[in-house]
Amino acid sequence: MTRHDWQSAIQQTLKVDIRHKMRVGGGDFAQAFRVTLASDRVLFVKTHDEPPAGFFTTEAAGLLWLHDAMAVAVPKVLHVSDDPPCLALEWIERGHAGQGAPAEHPEATFGRALANLHAAGAESFGREDARTTGSLAVPNDPVHDWPGFYAERRLLPLARLASDRGALPATSIRRLERLALCLDQFGASDERPSRLHGDLWAGNRVIDNRGLSWLVDPAAHGGHREIDLAMMRLFGGFDERCHAAYREVSPLAPEWQSRIPLHQLAPLVVHAIKFGGGYVRGVADALDACI
């Protein structure tokens, strides 16, 4: 079997032939397919020619970890391999947030579920297996306090990467480095690690044809719960009913609104490195709001 023969690998694992495959949208990194088996079962399959080491097994482990909290819907992992690199999940038939039981709007249901996911907690900030996540392979070695984790595993490594790639001006790099030294001044720095999705923008939430929200494409790790919430606000796509329901279940620490730009800095730097453009200005604006 060759490194790229993911179809044979899936057929061997599931013991059924692939009848048809069709390219679908799957993000900016992996190739994604809607795969129909001879048994008529439909799968979602992601693959990549040259992913970072352990990329798909790390993603699968993250999905299983989120599932273990028994709080949110997560697609079942049907096959995973790093050689050939691929991940096969159960197919989720899409719908929209207006669907679902009339007792509660699906956005509110998801907000409550997310609060319960975060409350499931983590052993530390980061990952116990120390595996990196995302296409930039940000580090996740465990740290036992949030300021240390956000400084040493997010802001400083991303600042170095942005500097090496010329993605941000030197003034923004210096400001990120200064900010990393004073994170305990922003409040809520003593929060226990929550069980995070880690890349929770609207494209990584799939709403099925019953109105149920599923989480996909995680960069799962233990972290500050305001990280997921700030990411949800960065690109939109989550109803205010979702945020309100979250706070009903799990109230946030005082001045949480003022910390949104702080928590948005890491994803903004990631996007500035990958895409440039307006994200460079976004980093500067978030820094202005912080220091």
| pLDDT greater than 60 at residue 101 | no
Name the residue ranges covered by the structural domains of the chain: 6-90, 106-290
Q: Which pLDDT score, from 0 to 100, does residue 25 have?
A: 82
State the chain's mean pLDDT as an integer.
94
Pick the CATH number of 6-90 from 3.30.310.50, 3.30.200.20, 3.40.980.10, 3.90.1150.180: 3.30.200.20
- Are 60 and 80 spatial neighbours (Cβ–Cβ below 8 Å)? yes
| pLDDT greater than 60 at residue 22 | yes
- pLDDT tens for 46-78 read 999 889 899 999 999 999 999 999 999 999 999
- pLDDT tens for 122-135 read 999 999 999 999 88
**How many CB atoms are closer than 10 A to CB 27?**
14
Q: Which pLDDT score, from 0 to 100, does residue 59 have?
A: 96
Domain over 106-290 is classified CATH 3.90.1200.10:
yes
Buried b (16+ CB within 10 A) or exposed e, 35-68: bbbeeeeebbbbbbeebbeebbbbbbbbbebbbe
| pLDDT greater than 60 at residue 99 | no
The arithmetic mean of pLDDT across residues 242-254, rounded, is 98
Q: Which pLDDT score, from 0 to 100, does residue 231 have?
A: 98
Q: Which pLDDT score, from 0 to 100, does residue 85 have?
A: 95
Sign, Cα dihedral of 98, 100, 104, 110: negative
The residue among 165 and 28 whose pLDDT is bigger is: 165
Ramachandran assignment for 109, one of left (phi > 0), alpha (psi -120 to 50 degrees), beta (any other): alpha
Q: Report residue 290's pLDDT band, with 50, 70 and 90 as the boundaries.
A: very high
Q: Which pLDDT score, from 0 to 100, does residue 3 have?
A: 54
- Are 148 and 191 spatial neighbours (Cβ–Cβ below 8 Å)? no
pLDDT > 70: percent of the chain: 95
The arithmetic mean of pLDDT across residues 94-115, rounded, is 81
Nearest to 118 by CA among 233, 43, 32, 220: 220
Q: Which pLDDT score, from 0 to 100, does residue 30 have?
A: 87
- pLDDT tens for 211-239 read 999 999 999 999 999 999 999 999 999 99
Q: Hey, what amino acid is at 31?
A: Q
- pLDDT tens for 116-167 read 999 999 999 999 999 999 889 999 999 999 999 999 999 999 999 999 999 9
Domains 6-90 and 106-290 share a fold: no
The arithmetic mean of pLDDT across residues 6-33, rounded, is 91
